Chain A
Amino acid sequence: ETGVTQSPTHLIKTRGQQVTLRCSSQSGHNTVSWYQQALGQGPQFIFQYYREEENGRGNFPPRFSGLQFPNYSSELNVNALELDDSALYLCASSVTLAGGQETQYFGPGTRLLVL
């Protein structure tokens, strides 16, 4: 158990809808990263939040957005859902120190199905 929790565990939406996924980071961690894992593939970096600000973004469109709260928990929001957004969404927490960050620890994921 990493201490990283995500909710919900599963979600079914239809095309065009919006979804919000939630992540609570491990105690003492100040950084949250989000990844999308399509079936049979490795995770792809969406973005990272540190000190409540976006701290890097992968190759994902603006309809993927996020927040980080003062308690370091985070949300991933996806607008105008498309069928290809169906995937496992993973949250990872870590500690960012001066000069860089430490190991990322992953939550169990939220499986999103878009119909």
Chain B
Amino acid sequence: GDSVTQMEGPVTLSEEAFLTINCTYTATGYPSLFWYVQYPGEGLQLLLKATKADDKGSNKGFEATYRKETTSFHLEKGSVQVSDSAVYFCALIKYNNNDMRFGAGTRLTVKP
């Protein structure tokens, strides 16, 4: 079945460091891909999305490019801040489906 694999955390970075969180997927057809962020004690917030190959999603300095050839959707940010500390989830859904599949999440801690 369809699935998402994320790099294991936790990831600890210093402020202003470069961030990459790897995400690869397995799916038939052409899924839409998402990154969600979850702050402590809260629900999931949509960070960015991409709906077709080579699309780049971006928001708040975060970027991810839908790479069909490598079935990947890696999350990047050039300079992280302490306020970016959270758990990040990669997810996919197919347009004619209703079951969004999530990765296990990657916890990011940014230290001042």
Contacts and interface: CB of A to CB of B under 8 A. Distances in A.
Interface string B50-73: 000000000000000000000000
B104 A99 contact: no
B44 A43 contact: yes
Contacts of B94: 100
The contact size tier of chain A is 20 to 34
Nearest to B49: A103
Contact of B44 (A41, A99, A100, A106): A106
Contacts of A55: 98
A93 to B, nearest CB: 12
A79 interface: no
B96 A105 contact: no
A101 B44 contact: no
Interface in A1-52: 2, 4, 6, 31, 33, 35, 40-45, 48, 50
Contacts of A101: 93, 95, 98
Contacts of A50: 98
Nearest to B36: A106
Nearest to B99: A45
21 contacts: A31-B98, A40-B105, A41-B105, A42-B4, A42-B102, A42-B104, A42-B105, A43-B102, A48-B98, A88-B43, A92-B44, A92-B100, A100-B95, A101-B95, A101-B98, A103-B32, A103-B49, A104-B93, A104-B100, A106-B45, A109-B42
Interface of B: 4, 32, 34, 36, 42-46, 49, 89, 91, 93-105
Interface of A: 2, 4, 6, 31, 33, 35, 40-45, 48, 50, 55-56, 58, 88, 90, 92, 99-101, 103-109
